[in-house]
């Protein structure tokens, strides 16, 4: 929706009671954030895949190293496919009238909630696979218990953060959802 179209919509609201919600500006910001989040996500995946590709370029590596490389690639593949699948229907497009803008904002929050669950379960799967393979990789090393203690401790910390992602994403989004609900109620009251 162009600014002129938006101003036209606002002029129809002049008879409404109470402050006009600034849905348009918020939606434009969220569309930009959504685009930046997509670019950042796939840039991080590309950098990680490029880093893992080095594992496969050295032919005399242990088979366990190659297996961990495949596990990491599977993790990023699952994250990418899940990320794209979750975003079906959100479409960063012109948001149209104020109701369409509010609907976009709600879809954006829903995507964030689903991505938090995706991160939780995909990382848990990565941890399980890593826990099965890593001890075999370091079994012949000089201090395998120390390596496992360091690696598993770090993975446990990250697992704690990722497994709690749905909780902290919901907590962070609660004020945004309340704001969207207020806008929707206001539009309903004004019959807009």
pTM tops 0.85, yes or no: no
In angstroms, what CA-CA distances link 111 with 28, 117, 126, 170, 180? 17, 10, 22, 11, 15
- How does 64-97 read in b/e, with b if 16+ C-beta sit within 10 Å? beebbbebbbebbebbeebbeebbeeeeeeebeb
Q: Encode pLDDT of 83-101 as tens digits.
A: 888 887 776 555 567 788 8
Any domain includes 159: yes
Q: What is the DSSP letter of 20?
A: P
Instruction: Indicate if the pLDDT at residue 46 is higher than 90.
Output: yes
Q: Model confidence at 12, in pLDDT bands (50, 70, 90)?
A: low
Is residue 5, in this structure, part of any structural domain at all? Answer: no
> Above pLDDT 90, what percent of the chain?
39
- Residue 67 lies in domain: 21-189
Pairwise CA distance, residues 66 & 70, whole Å: 6
Query: Per the domain annotation, does 121 fall within a domain?
Result: yes
Distance CA 108, CA 83 (A): 13
Which of 30-39, 56-65, 119-128, 177-186 has the highest average model confidence (pLDDT)? Answer: 119-128
pLDDT digit string, tens, across residues 142-159:
999 999 999 999 999 999
Within a domain: residue 12?
A: no
Structure tokens at 67: 């297996």
Flag whether 51 is in a domain.
yes
pLDDT value at 73 more than 80: yes
Residue 3 resides in a domain: no
Q: Report the domain count for the chain.
A: 1
Q: How far is residue 39's CA from residue 52's CA, in Å, rounded to a whole number?
A: 20
Residue 81 lies in a domain: yes
- Compute the distance between CA of residue 176 and CA of residue 1 in angstroms, rounded to an integer: 22
State the residue for tokens 């500006």: 25
pLDDT at residue 26 is higher than 90? no
Contact 190, 98 (CB under 8 A): no
In this structure, is residue 13 part of a structural domain?
no
């Amino acid at each position: 929706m162009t600014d002129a179209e938006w101003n036209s919509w606002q002029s129809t609201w002049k008879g409404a009671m109470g402050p006009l919600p600034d849905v348009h500006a918020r939606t434009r910001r969220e569309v930009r954030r959504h685009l930046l989040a997509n670019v950042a996500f796939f840039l991080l995946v590309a950098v990680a895949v490029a880093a893992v590709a080095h594992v496969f370029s050295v032919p005399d590596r242990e088979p366990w190293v190659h297996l961990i490389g495949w596990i990491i690639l599977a993790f990023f593949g699952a994250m990418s496919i899940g990320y794209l699948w979750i975003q079906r229907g959100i479409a960063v497009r012109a948001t149209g009238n104020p109701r369409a803008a509010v609907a976009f904002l709600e879809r954006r929050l829903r995507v964030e909630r689903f991505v938090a669950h995706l991160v939780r379960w995909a990382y848990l799967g990565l941890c399980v696979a890593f826990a099965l393979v890593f001890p075999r990789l370091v079994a012949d090393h000089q201090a395998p218990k120390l390596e496992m203690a360091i690696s598993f401790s770090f993975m446990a910390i990250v697992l704690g953060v990722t497994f709690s992602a749905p909780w902290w994403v919901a907590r962070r989004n609660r004020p945004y959802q309340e704001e969207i609900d207020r806008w929707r109620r206001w539009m309903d009251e004004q019959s807009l």
